[in-house]
Amino acid sequence: MTSILVTGGTGTLGRPTVAGLRANGHSVRSLSRRTGPDVVTGDLLSGSGIPESLAGVHTVLHLATKGRTDVAASKTLLAATRAAAVEHLVFVSIVGIEAVPIGFYRDKLAIERLVAESSVPYTILRATQFHSLVEQVFVAQRYSPVILSPAFSMQPIAVEEVAERLVEVAEEGPAGRIADIGGPEQLSGRELARAWAGAAGSRRPIWSIKLPGKAFAALMAGRNMVPGPSYGRRTFAEYLSERYPADR
């Protein structure tokens, strides 16, 4: 049994990861800014509660995110993990961040470098977008007369499969940057929009959107996807059929 702290343990990826670690018999603390019976309270931005949350912890899975403050939050965590003599830090990142020049991805890359340069033994796992994130892109447009879909393709993955991999990674020990993981299919934006519209019962027209700039060009070139055999097994269609049952 290993003592593990999961930052972001209350989030989309954190919840199945904490459940998977506990199912394997580990002693798991889930960090949250909130208070409650299932969490240890701490804030990576102010630093409050972080040293206490790390007392006696062997492995840290760093999944917390809040946008553009992530670099500062990660610096706080890294300093505290060093002070607490943590033996393994796992950081989850995103496929293609060095190729797609957007601010959030630059920050992710900066955190990867901080992790690699810190004295704490580490593993970095990059994943493609979760099914739920792709769904959100379309749900967010529910009041639009048309569905806008990006002209590039994506390779969405089930968050449960990312969580399963994280459990393995936590158990295997420090391995540096390991192989990226992605979902079972590379689908065009239009195919993803059609699948969502079919499942959600929307008959609105789908417009494919192309934007200028280096970031969009990198996405058009498929840099957000994983070449070679896929890791994930659960398809976007399977995810949608559970989210939008036909008999609802």
Ligand X SMILES: NC(=O)c1ccc[n+]([C@@H]2O[C@H](COP(=O)([O-])OP(=O)(O)OC[C@H]3O[C@@H](n4cnc5c(N)ncnc54)[C@H](OP(=O)(O)O)[C@@H]3O)[C@@H](O)[C@H]2O)c1
Which residues are near ligand X by CB under 6 A?
A: 7-8, 10-14, 31-34, 43-45, 63-66, 73, 92, 94, 127, 129-130, 133
Shortest distance, position 155 Cβ to ligand X, whole Å:
11
Shortest distance, position 151 Cβ to ligand X, whole Å:
19
Distance of alpha carbon 43 from alpha carbon 120, whole angstroms: 21
Shortest distance, position 3 Cβ to ligand X, whole Å:
19
Shortest distance, position 104 Cβ to ligand X, whole Å:
8
Q: Which amino acid is at 69?
A: T
User: Where are the extended beta strands (E) located within the chain?
Assistant: 3-7, 27-32, 40-41, 59-62, 88-94, 122-127, 147-150, 153-154, 176-177, 187-188, 206-209
Shortest distance, position 205 Cβ to ligand X, whole Å:
26
Q: Which is nearer to ligand X, 125 or 199 (CB)?
A: 125
Residue partners of 178: CB distance under 8 A and separation at least 6: 123, 124, 125, 169
Q: Which is nearer to ligand X, 73 or 206 (CB)?
A: 73
Instruction: Give the bridge partners for 91, in sequence order.
Output: 62, 124
How far from the centroid of its chain's Cα atoms is residue 164's Cα?
Answer: 13
Shortest distance, position 176 Cβ to ligand X, whole Å:
18
- DSSP states of 83-127 as a string? HTT-SEEEEEEETTTTTS--HHHHHHHHHHHHHHHSSS-EEEEEE
Task: Report which of 1, 127, 116 is spatially closest to residue 63, judged by C-alpha positions.
Answer: 127
Select the residue whose beta carbon is closest to ligand X and give its number. Answer: 11
Q: Which is nearer to ligand X, 88 or 161 (CB)?
A: 161
Q: Which is nearer to ligand X, 36 or 176 (CB)?
A: 36
Distance of alpha carbon 193 from alpha carbon 187, whole angstroms: 10
CA separation, residue 240 to residues 29, 93, 135 (Å): 31, 24, 8
Q: Which is nearer to ligand X, 44 or 147 (CB)?
A: 44
DSSP structure class, residue 165: H
Q: Which is nearer to ligand X, 14 or 189 (CB)?
A: 14
Q: Which is nearer to ligand X, 2 or 12 (CB)?
A: 12
Shortest distance, position 96 Cβ to ligand X, whole Å:
10
